[in-house]
Amino acid sequence: MSEPMTPAVPTLAQMTVKVLVPCLPHIFAADTNPVFHDPTLNSQMLPDISQTQLQAGQLLWQELWPDISRDYETVTAVQKVARTPNSPVWKSVFEQGLITILSRNETLAQDLAEKLRAL
């Protein structure tokens, strides 16, 4: 049996945003990295997500962070979307940044596709 095909990069970015965005406020509230830790995000401000969703988001975040950290615009978009997860503008900017990152790194795109398939 052949291996499943990796989705097109724009589709992969869209799937990633859908899983990761609701988790980002939780990740930033708990993160010890001074770039992302946001003590202003308190439990009343965090979106309601399950522990399974959070674990999935953390898994994707760990996979993506090294590449995101090298792209200033995507870092900015991630910071903004963590604070305003319902903003279509910042979600779109984040998605476009992921498209750029995944287009440059085929191995990352394949690894991310595998992780998303397993969710």
DSSP 29-96: HH---TTT--TT--TTTS----HHHHHHHHHHHHHHHHHHTT-HHHHHHHHHHHH-TT-HHHHHHHHH
What is the residue type of 33?
N
Exposed e or buried b for every residue in 8-42, given b needs 16+ CB within 10 A? ebeebbebbbebbbbbbbbbbbebeeeebebeebe
- Please check the confidence at residue 10 and state whether its pLDDT lies above 60: yes
The single-letter DSSP state of residue 4 is P
In tens, the pLDDT along 24-41 reads 988 887 765 555 656 666
**Sign of the torsion angle spanned by Cα atoms 83, 97, 10, 67:** negative
Closest C-alpha among 61, 67, 76 to residue 99 = 67
In tens, the pLDDT along 55-98 reads 999 999 999 999 999 999 999 999 899 888 899 999 999 999 99
**Confidence class for position 20, pLDDT limits 50, 70, 90:** very high
| Burial (CB count <10 Å: 0-12, 13-18, 19+), residue 4 | exposed
